Amino acid sequence: MNTILITFIIYCIVIVVIGAMFSKKSKTQSDFLLGGKKLPGWTLAFSERATGESAWLLLGYTGFVFTAGLSGIWVAIGIASGIIFAWLFLAKRFMQETDKQNALTLTDFLANRFGEKAKLIRWLCGILIGGFLMFYVGAQMAGAGKMLLTTFEMPTYVGVILSMIVIVLIAFTGGFISVVWTDVIQSIMMLITLVGLPIIALIYIGSNDISITQSLNTAGADFNSWFGGLTGFSLGVLFFNNFSWFFGFLGGQPQLSSRFMALKNEKEAKQGSAVAIIWTFLAYGGAFLIGICAIAIYEQGSFSDVETILPTMILEFMPPWAAGILLAGVLAAIISTANSQLLVVTGAVSEDIIHKALGIKMTEKQLVMVSRLSVLIFGLIGMTIALVSESLLYLIVSWAWAGVGCTLSPAILMTFFWKKYSSTGVIATILSGLFGTILWISTPLEEMITSLFTTFFIALIFGVVFSLLFPDKDADSATVEKVI
């Protein structure tokens, strides 16, 4: 256990030092929020993937597969499809439009593009992003608490506080540049964990003559079915509920889209696409196998919290030094995602609201200082949410994914590809997505059809209808050429 703890401590020190090393490069607001568009495409790809796949993937998804069986694959397929679509069809577009609109955030891009109601768009996006992503940040810190509880029998609140300190230190010192370069290390650590652990688990299963097929049948009647044993309408609901994560990846997650916005040129975009797609197949394939292997190794009901399966397997099957490295991969997922989300919330407050919506004039140095103070404040808020919330990672992340990603994705897609989309349509999209998500998850309807699916289409329909009813006065200035 001491070896594992030492490995953990060394890892935390290394990434904090790396973050500090890049702090001097963040001299302007553009550097702090978008890296000044100077970073290589491969680093942005690693960062985007580390940011997109948080403690949810390593703790939440592996636990979900353990309780669902083979049908859990549809979540991975939906997410992988969304990631591939975003990198192949949206990344280059984001890069081009960011340059054209001189935008530093996703909100900034929409507001500049639809200037007729720019201030209202900034306020609504700020409320939407800040509201939902703070719970997302809290979920990451809660994940750190669970992992450290499982690993060291450390009180959950201690793990939450320690993770908050590391997360805030990295984001506070160097902003986007520090986060991206630490993400590269953390993304590699995640891959080592997600690829290495299932290999070890499969070797254990084979050497102990355990049948995965038989274990699936024993676990439950539907565990050995790719469709959960469902047919007809019920099968459709299963498919849409699991596959619907796809809709949140279509440009609406600001912590992911910022990586596209930071790309320098088409060459870097192609390089980033290749790295991100390969990473996705390896990571999700590994996470799915971990859940399936856990079904073969442990009985259902063995865990009071299934989201502790991965750290439990690491401690059981790996020597201490290797366990320390693999568990650091879990911490890496938590830190990388929380860092990026803190920067997104910070950008929404310092750049979109204080600087642009309120029109408060500040020097570049003052803007950076406001951003750093915002990181500290919102880090503390996220920690508080983690300490008082008992919700599962899987649920919190899915709600945040719906509230932000599935609300803003229709707005981004229509901005890119539909010339009649108007500023009133943007507002209708945001409001309908915001209230639609809140109302949906507050009712039993969420148990039937996930808000990931309904939010996207509610926001899309409202955006289309209000754009047709209330077109912009200067329609020509609000058109975007179709992608050839």
pLDDT at 474: 65
319-322 long-range contacts, Cβ below 8 Å, gap at least 24? 320/1, 320/2, 320/3, 320/4, 321/3, 321/4, 321/7
Q: Comparing 64-68, 121-125, 221-225, which segment has the lowest mean pLDDT?
A: 221-225
pLDDT band at residue 31, thresholds of 50, 70 and 90?
Answer: low
pLDDT beyond 50 at 3 = yes
Tell me the percentage of the chain whose pLDDT exceeds 90: 25
For residue range 285-306, list pLDDT tens digits in order.
999 999 999 999 998 888 887 8
Give the sign of the dihedral formed by CA 364, CA 28, CA 249, CA 148: negative
Nearest alpha-carbon partner for 298 in 414, 425, 415, 204: 204
Dihedral (CA of 173, 179, 182, 186) sign: positive
DSSP 8-class letter at 357: I
pLDDT number for residue 411: 94
CATH number of 2-478: 1.20.1730.10
pLDDT of residue 476: 45
Whole-number pLDDT of residue 130: 79
Cβ neighbours of residue 233 closer than 8 Å, sequence gap 6 or more: none
For residue 480, the model assigns a pLDDT of 40
Q: How many CB atoms lie within 10 A of CB 344?
A: 28
- Evaluate if residue 323 carries a pLDDT over 60: yes
The long-range contacts involving 111-115, CB below 8 angstroms and separated by at least 24 positions, are 111/352, 111/356, 113/415, 113/478, 113/480, 114/415, 114/422, 114/423, 114/426, 114/472, 114/478, 115/423
pLDDT score for 477: 43
Confidence of residue 451 (pLDDT cuts 50, 70, 90): confident
pLDDT level of residue 13 (50, 70, 90 thresholds): confident
Range among 145-149, 346-350, 412-416 with highest mean pLDDT value: 412-416
Higher pLDDT, 204 or 11: 204
Residue 410 has a pLDDT of: 94
pLDDT of 394 over the 50 cut: yes
181 or 42, higher pLDDT: 42
DSSP 407-455: HHHHHHHHHHH-TT--HHHHHHHHHHHHHHHHHHHTSTHHHHS-HHHHH
Q: How many residues does the chain have?
A: 484
CB proximity list for 416: less than 8 A, separation 6 or greater: 90, 93, 97, 251, 480, 483
CB 95 within 8 A of CB 263: yes
> In this structure, what token pair is assigned to residue 435?
């209230």
pLDDT at 24 over 70: no
Mean pLDDT of 214-239: 75
Please return the burial class of 2, using the count of CB atoms within 10 Å of its CB with bins 0-12, 13-18 and 19+: exposed
- With contact defined as beta carbons under 8 Å apart, do 14 and 189 qualify? no
Write the DSSP string, 197-254: HHHHHHHHHHHTT--HHHHHHHH-TTTT-TTTT--HHHHHHHHHHHHGGGGGGSS--H
Block residue for tokens 């229509």: 414
Residue 326 has pLDDT above 90, yes or no: no
Using CA atoms, how far residue 308 sits from 244, 263, 292, 317, 425, in Å, is 25, 36, 15, 15, 43
Q: What pLDDT does 409 receive? A: 92
Q: What is the distance in angstroms between the CA of the first residue and the CA of the last residue of the chain? A: 57
Task: Note the Cα 345 to chain centre separation in Å.
Answer: 13
Single pTM value for the model: 0.79
Given a contact cutoff of 8 angstroms between Cβ atoms, the answer to whether 334 and 195 are in contact is: no
- Coil, strand or helix: which one is 335? helix
Q: Name the packing angle between helices 364-388 and 320-347 (round to 10°).
A: 120
Is residue 74 over pLDDT 70?
Answer: yes
Which of helix, strand or coil describes residue 471?
Answer: coil
Residue 1 has pLDDT above 60, yes or no: no
